[in-house]
Amino acid sequence: MKAVLVREFGPPESIRVEEFAPPSVGDTQVAVEVHAAGVNYPDLLVMAGKYQILPPRPFIAGKECAGIVIAAGKSVTTCKPGDRVLAWMEYGAFAEQALAEQDNCFVIPQEMPFTEAACFGLVYQTAHFALVARANVKPGEIVLVTGATGGVGLAAVQLAKAFGATVVAAVSTKEKAAIAREQGADHVIDVSVPNLRDGLREQLRAVTGGRGADVVIEQVGGDVFDASLRALAWSARLVVVGFAGGRIAEVKTNYLLVKNIAVMGLQISDYRDQHPALMRRVMNELFELYRQGKVRPLVSVTYPLADFAAAFAAIVERKAIGKLALALKD
């Protein structure tokens, strides 16, 4: 089978699509004929050898896919051959066949296309756990989402809206502002202003009647994190989801004390590995929200497997909107 095979860590352009032996299933595993795979920012970190969990080389890149179950181990109860599923894994999704633990394999709604399913696991689970398990968001609260038109960002915008929050999207261009509004944001603020440190707070106060944010879902880091921390309401919660901007920020603890603020982290793979039953409950809730039309991945571009590096170039250049997917089969 064809697969994106990482022999040496490096940028996507240095990595090739090669022939590789299809996987064979263990007792608790499922083999999926991959129809589409989701492209995620963390894949870049894994390929570069900069992620917190790194597999032994050579390995196949890719953290999530959707397709049809072609084999299931003898202890598997969550799906069976022929089922349409989405699956996620630490690595191995960018291939014609992928292997997942049964706990990480979910039968998808009949009406959900494979390209959407391939982009529905990681970012929606991340956004859900950030909003609910970590921030404990309540209807009527003000939620600021940074990197709001990225994968996790749009999922957080849609979900916060579905949970009854007022959503403020932080974006960097007019085009992205329009998309954030189309996707449910009540207000949009611009992170490309010259004095972001004060400018983010001023913009946020202007659209929230001076209140600031009760919850921030923060995936950019650096100056965006610093400015967001200054723009919180009393008793707010800021969830650190990622560092897409590159710099890992530091927190001045006097900010936390003065306003009763909580800054907390989220690592979705810990929930995946330690709380599989909770993940399944949340996945079912997400499928229900999808059926009700309240959430839907915006898959803006699909690429053939051979062009996977072009998809990652779009992410690095900040040209990607919503989700990008690799399409392997109809």
What residues make contact with ligand NAP under the rule CB under 6 A? 40-42, 122-123, 126, 147, 149-153, 171-172, 176, 191, 219-220, 224, 241-245, 266-268, 315, 318, 320
Nearer to ligand NAP, 84 or 124 (CB): 124
Minimum CB–partner distance for residue 35 and ligand NAP (Å) = 21
Minimum CB–partner distance for residue 283 and ligand NAP (Å) = 15
Nearer to ligand NAP, 102 or 125 (CB): 125
Amino acid at 14: S
Nearer to ligand NAP, 25 or 135 (CB): 135
Distances (CA, A) of 3 to 37, 98, 237, 299, 325: 12, 9, 41, 22, 15
Tokens 């956004």 sit on residue: 127
Residues 33, 35, 41, 45: what is their CA dihedral angle, to the nearest 10 degrees?
A: 30
Minimum CB–partner distance for residue 247 and ligand NAP (Å) = 8
Nearer to ligand NAP, 97 or 115 (CB): 115
Minimum CB–partner distance for residue 112 and ligand NAP (Å) = 20
| 140: its two tokens | 């009527």
Beta carbons of 29 and 47 less than 8 angstroms apart: no
How far apart are the C-alpha atoms of 128 and 72, rounded to whole Å?
29
3-state secondary structure of 38: strand
β-bridge partners, 17: 4
How far apart are the C-alpha atoms of 169 and 6, rounded to whole Å?
35
Amino acid at 290: Y
Nearer to ligand NAP, 48 or 256 (CB): 48
Minimum CB–partner distance for residue 38 and ligand NAP (Å) = 9
Minimum CB–partner distance for residue 141 and ligand NAP (Å) = 21
| 157: its two tokens | 């915008």
β-bridge partners, 293: none
Nearer to ligand NAP, 4 or 268 (CB): 268
Minimum CB–partner distance for residue 245 and ligand NAP (Å) = 3
In our burial notation (b when 16+ CB lie closer than 10 A, e otherwise), range 95-105 reads: bbbbbbbbbbb
Nearer to ligand NAP, 84 or 201 (CB): 201
Taking CB positions, which residue lies at the least distance from ligand NAP? 150
3-state secondary structure of 36: strand
Checking phi first, is residue 136 left (phi over 0); if not, alpha (psi -120 to 50) or beta? left
Nearer to ligand NAP, 113 or 222 (CB): 222
Minimum CB–partner distance for residue 234 and ligand NAP (Å) = 26
Beta carbons of 73 and 101 less than 8 angstroms apart: no
| 243: its two tokens | 């560092």
